[in-house]
């Protein structure tokens, strides 16, 4: 997990929205648990694809807020909206989040590629 100062910057840049109860201590706890669950391949996710196929909405087992803070810069429990096509968007979402919140030692050279693409998708 990155230093508190770097995590605080990520957290503070996210728009507060409706979730005023989500504080920095909860964010740090979510980061710790997310990295642990990624390593164990225990992040369960469902996905809805838009009609046009250019947008996906990911709903995870308790990490929507963390992923929205890191990926969409907003504090929201809504499913995480990821745009684009032509690649594994779940991998992209998890990879980017791990890069933002994890240290180089935690992420390792091969850790991110294998672990971010092997989570459970319903």
- Would you say 106 and 100 are in contact if contact means Cβ atoms under 8 Å apart? no
Q: What is the reported pLDDT for 29?
A: 97
At residue 109, the pLDDT reads 61
Question: For residues 31 and 45, what is the distance between their CA atoms, to the nearest angstrom?
Answer: 17
Count of CB atoms situated within 10 Å of the CB of 47? 15
Q: pTM of the full predicted structure? A: 0.90
- 58 - beta bridge partners? 47, 80
Q: Residue 96: what pLDDT? A: 92
Q: What is the mean pLDDT of each run of 10 residues along the chain (122 residues)?
A: 91 81 93 92 93 92 95 94 87 92 76 80 84
**What is the rounded distance in angstroms from the CA atom of residue 40 to the CA atom of residue 44?**
11
Residue 11: the pLDDT is 93
């Amino acid at each position: 997990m990155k230093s508190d100062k770097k995590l605080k910057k990520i957290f503070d840049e996210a728009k507060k929205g409706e979730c005023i109860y989500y504080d920095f201590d909860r964010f740090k706890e979510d980061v710790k648990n997310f990295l642990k669950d990624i390593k164990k391949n225990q992040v369960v996710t469902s996905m809805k694809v838009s009609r046009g196929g250019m947008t996906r909405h990911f709903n995870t087992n308790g990490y929507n807020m963390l992923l929205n803070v890191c990926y969409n810069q907003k504090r929201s429990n809504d499913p995480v909206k990821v745009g684009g096509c032509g690649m594994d968007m779940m991998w992209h979402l998890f990879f980017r989040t791990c890069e933002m919140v994890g240290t180089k030692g935690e992420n390792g050279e091969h850790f991110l590629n294998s672990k971010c693409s092997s989570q459970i998708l319903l």
